[in-house]
Amino acid sequence: MNPEVSVIIPAYNTEAYIARAIASVLNQTLRNVEVIVVDDASTDHTAKVAQQFQDERVRVFVNPRNLGAAGARNRALKAARGNWIAVLDSDDWYAPERLERLLQVAQAEQADMVADDLYYVQDSEETPLSTLIKGSGYAITDIRRIDPVFFVETDVYGQQGLHLGLSKPLMRRSFLQEHGIEYDLSLRLGQDFWLYMNCLINGARYFLVPEPYYYYRFRPNSLVKQSKVARLEGYCRAAESFLRQDQVKCNPRLVRSLSHNLTVFKRNRAYYRVVEPLKQKQYLQSVLAMIRNPYFFAHFVGQIGSILKRRWHYYLQKNELAYETRLSNQ
């Protein structure tokens, strides 16, 4: 019998974390699952740790060369046998009831995708700092259907919002196969947002559950800390590609939303072309980028307000969660 859910775990140099990720899947209340680990040519013992699990539900593949997260995930998708696909980053973990809960919602709503809220956890800590929804400014307390316009409008780079590109939805495998959807190999970062976008413009029924069951770890050397310029260049290419698609062109609101995001991507790309070399003491490169971008100073002033707002919001959320934790321990 095929598994109900295939959990795919792309992994690169996460030997200290991957055992917890795998164990969190094997300990799900939904037992009919498989775990597909694709080690992306790690230089540590990530693959060895994964291979030590003596459970027939765990399969481990090792890439001979590094393909990036998109390539590793696509290999896992091809190997998957489940009716549903769930993604788990190798340094994150699931709450025990996660897959059972999302599957219940998927069946009740006849969904193609079901995401949950997620906890933000700092590396080496257990108590979450906040959640995706709490930090978004949106009051979502019931199961909500997500359409492509809402998905784009609430995920604007550098601005407070829902940012569902960070979510890890349960996805119907037959839907992905029917529409030939896989991760974009040209993107080293941000592949999730564009895969979800591809699903939505192809008619996926996407629902968001307001409870968090996914633990999203922030750590200093993870992919999400890498070059913002490289990430933004990929986002620009992806947005331009989607704007050329007929499924987008026929939706004027979606065109406006994506076009706005593209403008934001380009402005931020120009900004970080100045800032990133400056941080690396590459002063000439930074000055040249500044000269080519006459709007840099205006954008910089605008960034100050956003940075202070995010810092203040982070402070409030952290103290609120600390207070709630103290109450729960009394």
- The pTM of this model reads 0.85
What confidence score (pLDDT) does residue 323 get? 36
Residues 22 and 102 occupy one common structural domain = yes
Task: Give the integer Cα–Cα distance in Å for 12 and 70.
Answer: 12
Residues 242 and 196 occupy one common structural domain = no
**What tens-digit pLDDT sequence spans the chain (330 residues)?**
789 999 999 999 999 999 999 999 999 999 999 999 999 999 999 999 999 999 999 999 999 999 999 999 999 999 999 999 999 999 999 999 999 999 999 999 999 999 999 999 999 888 899 999 999 989 999 999 999 999 999 999 888 999 999 999 999 999 999 999 999 998 877 889 999 999 999 999 999 999 999 999 988 666 555 688 888 888 899 999 999 999 999 999 999 999 999 999 988 888 887 776 667 667 677 667 666 776 566 565 566 555 555 555 555 555 554 434 433 333
Task: Give the integer Cα–Cα distance in Å for 208 and 95.
Answer: 17
What confidence score (pLDDT) does residue 223 get? 54
What confidence score (pLDDT) does residue 291 get? 64
Q: Are strands 206-218 and 113-122 parallel, antiparallel or unpaired?
A: parallel
Residues 247 and 221 occupy one common structural domain = no
Residues 237 and 253 occupy one common structural domain = yes
Residues 169 and 293 occupy one common structural domain = no
In CATH, what number is assigned to the domain containing residue 36? Answer: 3.90.550.10
What is the tens place of the pLDDT at every residue in 96-117? 999 999 999 999 999 999 999 9
Residues 36 and 165 occupy one common structural domain = yes
Give the CA angle between residues 58, 132, 182 to the nearest 5°.
45
Task: Give the integer Cα–Cα distance in Å for 111 and 120.
Answer: 26
Of 193, 225, 257, the one marking the end of a domain is 225
Calculate the alpha carbon distances from 229 to 101, 265, 273, 305 in Å. 38, 10, 6, 21
Of 225, 242, 274, the one marking the end of a domain is 225
Note down the domain range covering 136: 5-225
Q: Which residues contact 92 (CB under 8 A, 6 or more apart)?
A: 21, 168, 214, 215, 216, 217
What is the tens place of the pLDDT at every residue in 173-199? 999 999 999 999 988 778 899 999 999
Of 225, 250, 281, the one marking the end of a domain is 225
Residues 185 and 55 occupy one common structural domain = yes
What confidence score (pLDDT) does residue 318 get? 53
Residues 75 and 191 occupy one common structural domain = yes
Residues 42 and 191 occupy one common structural domain = yes
In the chain, the number of structural domains is 2
What confidence score (pLDDT) does residue 326 get? 37
Residues 143 and 39 occupy one common structural domain = yes
Residues 84 and 217 occupy one common structural domain = yes
Residues 180 and 122 occupy one common structural domain = yes
By CB neighbour count within 10 A (0-12 exposed, 13-18 middle, 19+ buried), where does 200 fall?
Answer: buried
What confidence score (pLDDT) does residue 290 get? 66
Task: Give the integer Cα–Cα distance in Å for 41 and 30.
Answer: 31
What confidence score (pLDDT) does residue 122 get? 92
What confidence score (pLDDT) does residue 187 get? 82
Q: Cα 128 vs. chain centroid, distance in angstroms?
A: 17
What confidence score (pLDDT) does residue 186 get? 84
